[in-house]
Amino acid sequence: MLSGKRIVLGVTGGIAAYKAAFLLRAFQKAGAKVRVTMTRGARQFVGGETFSSLSRHAVAVDIFPGNQSEKDQWTRHISWGEWADLFVIAPCTANTMAKIAAGFSDNMLTATVLSARCPLLVCPTMDGEMYRSAAVTRNLKTLREDGIHILEPEAGYLASGLEGRGRLPETETIVEKCLGILAEQQLEGPLSGKKVVVTAGPTREFMDPVRFISNPSSGKMGFAMAEAARNMGGEVTVIHGPVHIPKPGGVDAIEIVSTDDLFSHVKNHADADVIIMAAAVADFTPKSHSEQKIKKDDSTSSLELRRTPDILSWLGNHKKEGQTLIGFAMETENMVEHAQKKRENKKADWIAANSIADHNTGFGTDTNTVTLLGESVQQDFSGTKKEIARQLLDRIFNTG
Ligand code: C5P
């Protein structure tokens, strides 16, 4: 999705400026062309050569270049603004945010903001107290009202030695946000106009306020399916259990905890054109739930369980005309045979079966090996979960 995209990366003078070098590399790895504009403040933290070497392009700081060879380039702020498909300012200081809110154009970065014809993403980073200050709050509101995308800073350990909300989010999270912004722009695709629901991650079945039954699902496969559907133009809602990975940008996300929660949200979205059940749903839940923590001495050694509702089966039995229903199956033996039976019993159109046979497949990994089973289809896919997700949807919707 970033392949061939042109990104202007704006870097301002915060300690997180060094992280912008990693962000630049991540953009390039994803196939984007990057140019960097930095403020004089940013140069106090990272040398311009770092960015010019990595981007293989001159870094722009001032509007009026002192350098003779650049003399005729004083209009760069306009040409860069036209060139870019996306402008990302990471990190963005309170100072630069204030300038953008007020419309200043006193350096190449702020002037390019004014001339940009593409979406702008601002990633504010600063001390937690500064972030909460009245002026920063006001400027953030103005930026939002002006249609600028904001990626909120994360809470954690700050350079000041204090804890607070002010850290630049992980590179992966910023890249995801960019993908979401670009996807919003690209409305055309094989799933354009289609509602897509994806379930992802594990469910938790609590027996008391502190203990639950669950599984090691990371949500990676489900989120990859949601991203792939979004990249194909779908209007995606992802309903997911507790996970620790960045949410896909440009999709609606609903967080659930238990299978019963998941079931009620899925029912509310059961009219979708495409439903992808990638969640690792718990099959059993404790029969009773204790309001208080079960005491060691009260407990017996056994726990009574009941079956959870089979959501995919329910969807199969309530299938809307023209709907595509896709399930996942994790098997430890006779994978194809068991998964094909599952497809028939649950009345799903497709089952993507995977095994946990080796350490590159299954729970928590970035890669997977999947066998897609349809009425008269059996096809293997292997690679990263993101690659597989796209290939599965291409095969299912004949767009490959
Ligand atoms: O029967 P099994 O759990 O192996 O089936 C896997 C498929 O069924 C997955 O798509 C999973 O999301 C879905 N499932 C469900 N409700 C359950 C259990 C599994 O929808 N209670």
Tell me the per-residue pLDDT of 12-34, one tens digit each, with 9 for 90 and over: 999 999 999 999 999 999 999 99
How far is the C-alpha of 398 from the C-alpha of 400, rounded, in Å?
6
- Superfamily (CATH) of domain 6-181: Flavin prenyltransferase-like (3.40.50.1950)
Whether residue 4 is predicted with pLDDT greater than 60 in this model: the reply is yes
Ordered by start, the domain boundaries in the chain are 6-181, 190-397
Among residues 107, 215, 354, 398, the one annotated as catalytic is: 215
Both tokens of 42, joined, read 């940013």
How far is the C-alpha of 276 from the C-alpha of 20, rounded, in Å?
35
Which positions ≥6 away from 287 have C-beta within 8 Å? 304, 305, 306
How far is the C-alpha of 279 from the C-alpha of 232, rounded, in Å?
21
pLDDT bucket at 73, cuts 50 / 70 / 90: low
Both tokens of 72, joined, read 């005729």
Instruction: Judge whether 6-181 and 190-397 match in fold.
Output: yes
Q: pLDDT tens digits for 112-146? A: 999 998 899 999 999 888 999 999 999 999 999 88
State which H helix or E strand residue 199 sits in.
strand 195-200
How far is the C-alpha of 163 from the C-alpha of 159, rounded, in Å?
9
Pocket test for ligand 1, best of 238, 312, 344 (most atoms within 8 A of CB): 312
| DSSP three-state, residue 22 | helix
Q: Whose CA is nearest to atom 2 of ligand 1?
A: 329
The listed range with the strongest mean pLDDT (2-6, 78-82, 349-353) is 349-353
Residue 111 CB less than 6 A away from ligand 1: no
Q: What pLDDT is recorded for position 189?
A: 81
How far is the C-alpha of 101 from the C-alpha of 68, rounded, in Å?
33
Cα Rg for the chain, rounded, in angstroms? Answer: 24
How far is the C-alpha of 267 from the C-alpha of 343, rounded, in Å?
20
Q: 205 C-alpha vs ligand 1 centroid, how far in Å?
A: 15
β-pair type (378-384, 367-373): antiparallel
Both tokens of 95, joined, read 């100072």
| The domain over range 190-397 is classified in CATH as 3.40.50.10300 | yes
Residue 327 CB less than 6 A away from ligand 1: yes
Bridge partners (DSSP) listed for residue 197: 237, 275
The closest alpha carbon to 283, from 313, 261, 306, 301, belongs to 306
215 noted as active-site residue? yes
Residue 179 CB less than 6 A away from ligand 1: no
pLDDT bucket at 184, cuts 50 / 70 / 90: confident
Pocket test for ligand 1, best of 310, 325, 335 (most atoms within 8 A of CB): 310
Residue 342 CB less than 6 A away from ligand 1: yes
Cβ atoms of 266 and 240 closer than 8 Å: no
Q: What pLDDT is recorded for position 281?
A: 97
Q: Whose CA is nearest to atom 8 of ligand 1?
A: 312
Residue 129 CB less than 6 A away from ligand 1: no
Residue 310 CB less than 6 A away from ligand 1: yes
Query: How many alpha carbons fall within 13 Å on the CB side of residue 194?
Result: 22
